[in-house]
C-alpha cells in the first residue's frame, strides 16, 4: 500500500500522508513517495495548487522511533551508528530526507498544508516546507527532539518566526497549539477543527483560479528572497548538527534508554524533563536534582 497518496481533483492535486496506524510517522519510504507525488503534481497538466494533508488522526507525528530509535546500531535502519561514527554517512542519509521534504518548497505549484492532530518533530519539518499552513486550533506543532537527539534539518523555524521566537521554540522543545502558532506568525491561520476542511478548500480554490505561470513566478520571487538569506547553508549545518545530537554522549544515553525502556518512555522523560541525559539518571520531581 502506498504510504503517500495522490489524487487530481480538478485544478487541485491532493497529496496525503498515508500511515494512519502510526500517525503518519516517517520511515525510509515516506519522504521518497512524498517527493514523487510532488513531482507528479508539477508534471500533470491542469494542476494549479497542491493540498497536503495527513490521513487519520494527525498530519505527522515525526520519525517512526519504533522503526529507528529502538534499532540496534548495526541494523540497516539505525540512525545511531556504532562508534566511531562516520558523520558524512549520517549527513548523506539525513540530507536525502531534507532534500525530499524540500520538494514542497521547490514545487512550482503552491503547496497549502492542512494540519490536524499533530505536526511534530520531523512532521513539523514537512509542514514548514510548504508555502502556507492552516491548522486546527487544537492541533499541535513543535520540535521536541531539540531537548535531546535532534535538530530540525530543514531549519525553517528561523525563516518563518525570526530569531527570537525561533529560539523560544528550539530552546524548549515545546509543542504549541494552532492558535498560538498563528499568533506567533508560524502558520497562516488557525480555525476550529470542524471548519478546517472548508477553510483550506476555500483558499485552494481561490488560488486555483490564478494561471499556473503567475503562481510560479510569484512563488519563485518570494522563495528567492529566503534563499538569498542563506537557507541552503543553514540547512547544511542543521542536518550535520542533527547527526551530532544523536551521537553526542547525551544522544547515546537517550538511545540506550529507548532500547532499555522502549521509545515511548524515553520520549516521555525527554519531553517532561524528568531525566538528566548528561548524568544518565532520573531527576527527582520538583527538585531538579539527580536521583
Report pLDDT digits (tens) over 30-39.
999 999 999 9
φ and ψ at 242, to 5 degrees?
-60, -45
Domains and CATH numbers, the chain: 4-247 (3.90.226.10)
Beta strand segments in 10-97, E: 12-17, 49-54
- Whole-number average pLDDT of the chain: 94
Tell me the pLDDT tens digit for each residue of 55-64. 999 999 999 9
Please give the pLDDT value at position 74: 45
- Residue 78: predicted pLDDT: 62
Q: Express each pLDDT in 69-89 by its tens digit.
A: 555 444 545 678 888 999 999
Query: pLDDT tens digit string along 263-279?
Result: 899 999 999 999 999 99
Residue 67: the pLDDT is 76
Digit-coded pLDDT (tens) for 142-196: 999 999 999 999 999 999 999 999 999 999 999 999 999 999 999 999 999 999 9
Q: What is the dihedral of CA 202, 204, 210, 215, to 10 degrees?
A: 150
What pLDDT does 289 receive? 54
Amino acid at each position: 500500500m502506498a504510504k503517500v497518496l495522490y489524487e487530481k481533483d480538478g485544478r487541485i492535486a491532493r497529496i496525503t500522508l498515508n500511515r494512519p496506524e502510526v500517525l503518519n510517522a516517517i520511515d525510509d519510504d515516506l519522504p521518497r513517495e512524498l517527493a514523487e507525488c510532488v513531482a507528479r503534481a508539477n508534471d500533470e497538466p491542469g494542476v494549479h495548487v497542491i493540498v497536503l494533508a495527513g490521513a487519520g488522526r494527525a498530519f505527522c507525528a515525526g520519525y517512526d522511533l519504533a522503526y529507528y530509535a529502538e534499532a540496534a546500531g548495526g541494523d540497516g535502519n539505525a540512525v545511531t551508528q556504532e562508534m566511531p561514527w562516520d558523520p558524512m554517512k549520517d549527513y548523506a542519509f539525513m540530507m536525502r530526507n531534507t532534500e525530499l521534504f524540500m520538494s514542497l518548497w521547490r514545487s512550482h505549484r503552491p503547496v497549502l498544508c492542512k494540519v490536524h492532530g499533530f505536526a511534530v518533530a520531523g512532521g513539523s519539518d514537512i509542514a514548514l516546507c510548504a508555502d502556507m499552513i492552516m491548522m486546527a486550533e487544537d492541533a499541535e506543532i513543535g520540535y521536541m527532539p531539540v531537548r535531546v537527539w535532534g535538530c530540525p534539518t530543514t531549519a525553517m523555524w528561523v525563516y518563518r518566526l525570526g530569531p527570537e521566537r525561533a529560539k523560544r521554540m528550539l530552546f524548549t522543545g515545546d509543542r504549541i497549539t494552532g492558535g498560538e502558532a498563528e499568533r506567533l506568525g508560524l502558520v497562516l491561520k488557525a480555525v476550529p477543527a470542524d471548519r478546517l476542511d472548508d477553510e483550506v478548500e476555500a483558499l485552494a480554490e481561490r488560488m486555483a483560479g490564478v494561471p499556473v505561470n503567475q503562481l510560479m513566478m510569484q512563488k519563485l520571487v518570494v522563495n528567492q528572497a529566503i534563499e538569498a538569506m542563506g537557507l541552503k547553508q543553514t540547512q547544511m549545518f542543521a542536518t550535520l548538527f542533527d547527526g551530532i545530537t544523536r551521537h553526542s554522549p547525551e544522544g547515546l544515553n537517550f538511545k540506550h534508554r529507548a532500547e532499555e525502556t522502549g521509545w515511548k518512555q524515553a520520549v516521555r522523560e525527554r519531553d517532561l524533563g524528568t531525566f538528566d541525559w548528561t548524568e544518565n539518571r532520573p531527576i527527582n520531581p520538583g527538585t531538579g536534582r539527580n536521583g
